[in-house]
Amino acid sequence: MVFTTLIMIPLVLAELAICAGLVYLFVLLVKALRKYLRSGEIRKEKSEVCKSLGETLKEHRINCHMTQEFVAEHLGVSRQAVSKWENGTSDPSTSNLLALAKLYGVSAEELLKEVNF
Is the pTM higher than 0.85? no
**Domain ranges for the chain:** 2-48, 51-112
pLDDT (0 to 100) of residue 98: 95
Kindly report the backbone phi and psi dihedral angles of residue 74, in degrees, each rounded to the nearest multiple of 5, phi listed first.
Answer: -65, -35
What would the pLDDT profile of 6-50 be if each residue is shown by its tens digit? 677 777 888 899 999 999 999 999 999 999 888 888 777 666 656
Per-residue pLDDT at 46: 65
**Per CATH, domain 51-112 is 1.20.1090.10:** no
